[in-house]
Chain A
Amino acid sequence: MRRDPCSDPVLAAFAAEIGPSGPVTIKGGGTHWSVGGGPDPTARVVAAPEGIVKFQPSETTVEVRAGTKVTELHEVLAEHGQRTSLPEDPGSTVGGALALGWSGPARLGRGLTRDAVLQIRYVGSAGELVTAGGPTVKNVSGFDVCRLMIGSLGTLGCIADMILRTRPIPELEVWHSVFGIDPADVLQSCATAGSILWDGSCTWIMNAGYGVDVEHDLAVLAEISAKAGADRPAPADPPKLPPHRWSRRPSEALAMGPEDGSFVAEIGVGMVHVDHPVSPPPPDEGSVLVQRRVKQAFDPDSRFNPGRRVGGM
């Protein structure tokens, strides 16, 4: 039966702290504080509660407070051989990761951040506690308000608590790098490729899966390298990613070249990490209209994270 979030003293206290009025900015780990524009310095800064509420390995779900560090969450999940698809940026919080909505460079294998979210509890603009989504791994009951919160940069509500879907950690996960191969060949031939990063000359590959499958794909990788006249792939750490993101289609990422400056492209995904900021293409006009209506409907007084704007707004 429905659990009243107000009966949870931690959530109730968080809602009371936010209250019904005045500009508020919610701060997670502060790791991506400038995305969407820095927050208005006059806004009151609040931090979400921390801690893992309930981890049920056999349900593959975990309820966690938004202020919990992703790395801390993953340490606990790993004790049961599980994790979530959220990226592990050092210092970032689970709530921050959802508010940002970015997926990590291993999304090809681990899936998208947005698809990990089953339920979100947040504080709305009148200081009210709201539950969106549901606790089970499958749920289509009502409108999917959760999706609006993911990537909203905290501009629609203050995320307090969430239930995430967990996934088993693969039996084997290894990184290799090799110069001079076509990364498209890896995407085509290696089903265990959980991440393929390419900087125009070097390709880094993370193979993840059952040991026997990973070993098979490493042999395939060696064949691809031999055919290209390249050295054998060597164990390697993943590359450091340039600071800016350029969201492209997968085929566009493959077409990157020296004229684009230094880059690391996520092959099969389309995200390209570049050393200079790139303006996103102009958004669809009609969609901007709906986005404005969303903001107006959820935060009519514009009290949440003033100064920060999601793309296109």
Chain B
Amino acid sequence: MKLVAVLLGGLVFGFGLALSGMTKPEVVLSFLQLEDFGLVLVMAGAIAVTATAFHLGPRLVATPPCGDYEPADKTRRRGTIAGAVVFGLGWGVAGICPGAMIASLGTGNWFILIGIAGALAGAYLQGRVWPEGS
């Protein structure tokens, strides 16, 4: 049941990413090059709904139907900022971020497999060489 909810939520998330064009690196790069500010609308829309759910959910329903509310992780680690710098470099080079690249595969954009392979390799390297940062 929990996994069904996760699958359906992912489905709506992925549909939204494709509708907004975020699955295409060119569209993300057009934001990063400050030519099209659509990405700001995507983030604003997503945060508006998510923040409402995060704040109202626990007030209205004590326990969710499948599980418990996971506490928000608000820890600042040694890697929080260093990692954000590295991520920013990669996002600026390729125009891809984890959710968008995974969804992009669904749109038949096979070239994105190169990016996914790179990201899996990068995440592996992080776990091996700098696990204490996170």
Whether chains A and B associate is no
